[in-house]
C-alpha cells in the first residue's frame, strides 16, 4: 500500500478484465485464432502444416510472455512470426502481408471481448465529476487494442491511451505511469490506477508511488499473491466498478 493523501484528479484504467472481459475459453479460442493465422499464411503462399504451425506459434508466444514478465519490455508479435517462418524456410513476404494475416487472427478473438455492464455508467460518472481519464494496457498488439477500444466506443472517455506494444515498456514498469501522467499534464501523485492484475496494475502503481485499486470480480485466483508480496497489497479492493466512486469520494474527503 502507498501512503498518499493527495486528492485524486485523474484515474488510469487497465482494459482487459477491468472495462471489458473475454467471454469464451481463452486458451481454446486463442489457439483457434492461431489456426486462422496459419490458414491466412497458407493462402498467402506459405507452405505450412497448420496444426504444427499453430502449436509452435503458441509455444513461442508463451515463451515471449514469460520473458516480458521478467524484463517488462514489449516486442512486436510480427517478430515472433518472422522467427518461426525463418526457421521453417518460409519467411519470404513483406510485413504488410504478415500484418494482414495477423489481422484475421485478432479479429477472431476481438468478437469475444465484451463490455462490462457497469463500465459506461462509471466512466460517465467520472467525466461528470471532472476526473481526467487515462488507459494503460499491456498488450502485444496496439492494432488489436485500438480495435477493442473503438469497438466498444471507449475512446471518447480517455484523454490519453498508452499501449505497451507502442510504448515499448509495460506495467509494472513505473515509467509507463509517469509517461501517462505527463501526457495528461497532471502530477503523478494526483492519480490512481484501477486494474485487475496485482503484479502489473497494483505493483506498477506502487512502484510509481501512486495508489492502486484492485477490481477482483474475475481475479480471485490472485488473492494468494497479497499474502506473500506486501507491495502487491491494493490500497482498495472493489468487486464492481460501481464501488469506485465511493472510494474516490472517501479519499478526496480525507
**CATH number of the domain that residue 220 is part of:** 3.40.50.1000
Residue 4 lies in a domain: no
Domain total in the chain: 2
Report the predicted TM-score, pTM, of the whole model to 2 decimal places. 0.92
- Owning domain of residue 176: 10-21+114-253
Reported residue count of the chain is: 254
Torsional sign, CA 178, 198, 125, 141: positive
Q: Which H/E stretch holds residue 102? A: helix 95-110
Same-domain check for residues 84 and 193: no
121 with 101, same domain? no
Q: Does a structural domain hold residue 3?
A: no
Q: What is the pLDDT of residue 222?
A: 62
Q: Note the pLDDT of residue 25.
A: 93
Domain boundary among 110, 129, 144: 110
- 173: how many CB neighbours lie within 10 A of its CB? 22
Give the burial class of 37: count Cβ atoms within 10 A of its Cβ; 0-12 exposed, 13-18 middle, 19 or more buried.
buried
Closest residue by Cα to residue 181 from 244, 133, 251: 133
Of the three residues 92, 110, 128, the one that is the final residue of a domain is 110
Average pLDDT, the chain: 93
Indicate whether 230 and 249 sit together in one domain.
Answer: yes
Task: Report which of 219, 210, 131, 217 is spatially closest to residue 172, judged by C-alpha positions.
Answer: 210
Give residue 70's pLDDT: 85
Is 53 a member of any domain?
yes
Preceding omega of 107 cis (within 30 degrees of 0) = no
54: cell is 499453430
CA separation for the pair 71, 242 (Å, rounded)? 34
Q: Are residues 90 and 151 in the same domain?
A: no
Handedness of CA 93, 95, 97, 98 (dihedral sign): positive
Domain boundary pick from 49, 83, 110: 110
In terms of domains, do 44 and 61 share one?
Answer: yes
Both 144 and 230 in a single domain? yes
- CATH number for position 53: 1.10.150
Same domain assignment for residues 204 and 221 = yes
Same domain, 48 and 154: no
pLDDT at 3: 65
Q: From the first residue on, what is the mean pLDDT of each consecutive set of 10 residues in the chain (254 residues)?
A: 82 97 94 98 97 97 90 89 95 94 97 98 98 97 96 98 95 97 97 94 95 87 62 91 98 90
Amino acid at each position: 500500500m502507498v501512503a498518499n493523501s493527495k486528492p485524486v484528479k485523474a484515474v488510469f484504467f487497465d482494459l482487459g478484465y477491468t472495462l471489458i472481459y473475454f467471454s469464451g475459453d481463452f486458451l481454446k479460442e486463442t489457439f483457434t485464432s492461431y489456426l486462422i493465422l496459419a490458414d491466412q499464411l497458407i493462402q498467402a503462399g506459405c507452405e505450412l502444416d497448420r496444426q504444427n504451425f499453430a502449436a509452435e506459434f503458441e509455444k513461442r508466444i508463451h515463451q515471449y510472455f514469460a520473458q516480458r514478465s521478467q524484463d517488462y519490455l514489449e516486442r512486436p508479435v510480427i517478430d515472433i512470426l518472422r522467427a518461426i517462418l525463418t526457421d521453417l524456410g518460409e519467411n519470404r513476404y513483406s510485413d504488410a502481408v504478415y500484418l494482414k494475416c495477423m489481422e484475421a487472427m485478432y479479429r477472431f478473438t476481438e468478437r469475444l471481448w465484451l463490455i462490462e455492464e457497469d463500465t459506461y455508467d462509471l466512466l460517465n460518472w467520472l467525466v461528470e465529476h471532472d476526473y481526467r481519464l487515462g488507459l494503460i494496457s499491456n498488450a502485444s498488439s496496439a492494432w488489436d487494442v485500438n480495435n477493442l477500444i473503438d469497438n466498444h466506443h471507449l475512446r471518447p472517455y480517455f484523454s490519453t491511451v498508452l499501449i505497451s506494444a507502442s510504448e515499448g515498456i509495460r506495467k509494472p514498469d513505473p515509467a509507463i505511469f509517469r509517461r501517462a501522467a505527463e501526457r495528461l499534464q497532471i502530477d503523478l501523485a494526483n492519480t490512481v490506477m484501477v486494474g485487475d492484475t496485482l503484479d502489473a496494475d497494483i505493483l506498477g502503481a506502487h512502484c510509481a508511488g501512486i495508489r492502486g485499486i484492485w477490481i477482483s470480480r474475475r481475479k480471485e485466483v490472485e488473492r494468494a499473491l497479497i499474502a506473500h508480496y506486501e507491495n502487491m497489497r491494493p490500497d482498495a479492493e472493489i468487486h464492481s466498478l460501481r464501488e469506485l466512486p465511493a472510494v474516490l469520494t472517501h479519499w478526496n474527503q480525507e
